[in-house]
A and B are shown apart, each in its own frame.
Chain A
Amino acid sequence: MTANRLTRRAVLSAGAAAALATIGAPVILHAQTATLKITTWGGKWGDIMKAELLPAFEKEFKCTVSADQAFPFVPKLQASPKSNPVYDVLHTNSNEQWSSLDLGLVEARLDHKKIPNLADVYPYAISDKIVGVSIFTSAIGLGYRTDKGLKKPTSWKDFADPALAGMRGGYIIPVNSLGQCHLMMLGKIYGKGFTDLDAAYKALEALKPIKLVDFTGQMEKMLLAGEVNMGVIHDSGVLRYEGQNQPIDFAIPSEGVMALEQVLNVTPGSKVKELAYAYIDYMLRPDVQKKLAETVWYSPSNKKVKLAPKYDARLFNTEAKVAQLIQPDWKWYNARKDEIDTRVTRLLKG
């Protein structure tokens, strides 16, 4: 046997080393590249994020982004250790950010110095009704069929028209924030204000018979299919069908529309906080905002965004238009959610 001859031991050692290198390589690469863990929506939003915006962010910031599209985000964050959270940036609607704050899962306030684009957002996006920053908003109003001889609704009271009995659509309030917004709006329209729950319950009962759904996507389809002639919905759920010859339109009641905010916030235990802030700043850039706004019909928060005419005409992108947005007090609502859920479930049963 010569010194150069391959022995079984040498082959096995080399094989083991190669196997370890193969297994270890991703870990080594991973260690070299920071990973930002975020939540994000699906649908067209998710498509454009995956195809264009996230790869561009990864390239610019030399990192990888792990984007979770699978709900439920808050329970997953809650179940993960606070010192090593499953997400660095939490994207949810505003109501869930408030409940996350109560659980200590998100920052109470963002560091404005680290997010320069916050200087250019409309005041509502960082108001005291928001935990984090609202990067986009939709307007919750009334969607309606244009081929059923209905007059365009001008008030939330038009939703209670007896002619719409059984042909109006609402939400299963415990699981849908649009339904929760609508309940608060009923308190304002028929009572002393958004917190007048007794008036809201009474008005809600008067809307029966009403068809209820879980998701806004289902409401869109009910409107398209003519299963309801009018429904509570956000503007993007109707405007996205523009140019497709669908007999539906969106109406802004004179009393105002409720804001359905897309909110980003950072988790306190994130190990890549600088990257998390950079991501939020990136999402507030005018070019990124324009791209997303014109893809999903969401109103951008950055005042500097210049939208194409057809989006400019319908979205809430001027000081005057955003003044119509009413921001729900989710802190107040969440504190009473269990009691409200029990009451509305009993009220709308059957």
Chain B
Amino acid sequence: MSARSVDAGRLAYYALNGAIIAFLLAPIAIVAVFALNPTPYISFPPVGVTGRWFVKFFATDDFMVALWLSLRVAVVVLLLSMLIGGACALALARGRLPGARFLTAFFMSPLMLPAILTGLALFQVFQLAELDRPVWGLIVGHTLVAVPYVLRTTLAVLANFDTRVEEAAASLGASPMRVFVEVTLPLIRPGVIAGGIFAFIVSFDQFPISLFLVPPKGETLPVVLFNYMKFDLDGAIAAASMVSILLALSVVLLLERVIGLKAYVKL
């Protein structure tokens, strides 16, 4: 193989990677330009740099209330989906349940249904039960679509799980509970945490389900942004998007700092 062909191959490799990165980052770049541009509409090239849209975003009560509600709901959904998804994965992979494949497909089914239908169906259930639209109903809806992510990532870990480690611990006298806490749990943790991060992001950005389940004066950020866009399409929307992106990134970085996600990159 000549040096020339190697260089051409490497160039093509870099070009392809550059194109993929540009494709992935272009929407964020456009949002950033819009968020920092002083004009109340998308214009290119930008005519200046301003922080007024960020000020407007943080100074608007509706946005702030929605942001905190979205964050609180997402944290609860993260915890619930890790608990439910992790437990389901263990039961499906290790429980020798009859119809385990069917049950796996059943638990994954919320991802196959259009989320807007899930939202509408849950809304109808709550209305028929005369519960109106409680916040916990919103959490239930989000958890429903978040659990499959934890289930899938945990099942992936369990597929490569070496059960002999548990057997060794048991043979050395550890109780079943101790085996679970000190052996099983640490080994499945990467899958549960990776799924939990997905669950957080899915909940924080959730729109179709929230559309039907948010109560009056209790709208989440994506719903508030959608309604705002219908009447006031200005840079505050872009500022809100940038804040959302940075928040999601912060969560990932925080988890990386606290529990070292690098160790789980193999997932």
Q: Using CB atoms and an 8 Å cutoff, list the residues of chain A in contact with chain B.
A: 37, 41-46, 66-72, 75-76, 79-81, 84, 86, 215-218, 220-222, 224-225
Contact = CB atoms under 8 A, between A and B. Distances in A.
B144 to A, nearest CB: 17
Contact of B42 (A37, A69, A86, A225): A225
Nearest to A65: B216
B41 interface: yes
Nearest to B43: A225
Interface in B116-146: 120, 123-124, 127-128, 130, 132
Contacts of B123: 76, 79-80
B39 interface: yes
Interface string B28-47: 00000000000111110000
Contacts of B40: 221, 224
Nearest to B230: A215
Given A79-B120, A86-B127, A71 B227 contact: yes
Contacts of A222: 41
A221 B42 contact: yes
B127 A70 contact: no
B253 interface: no
Interface of B: 39-43, 120, 123-124, 127-128, 130, 132, 211-212, 214-217, 219, 223, 226-234
A41 B233 contact: no
B216 A218 contact: no
Nearest to A41: B231
A217 B216 contact: no
A224 B43 CA distance: 10
B41 A42 contact: no
Contacts of A70: 211, 214, 216, 219, 223, 226-227
B233 A218 contact: yes
Contacts of B127: 79-81, 84, 86
A206 B259 CA distance: 62
Given A70-B227, A215-B229, A76 B212 contact: yes
B124 A217 contact: no
10 contacts: A46-B231, A70-B214, A70-B219, A79-B124, A80-B123, A80-B124, A84-B127, A86-B127, A217-B229, A222-B41
B211 A45 contact: no
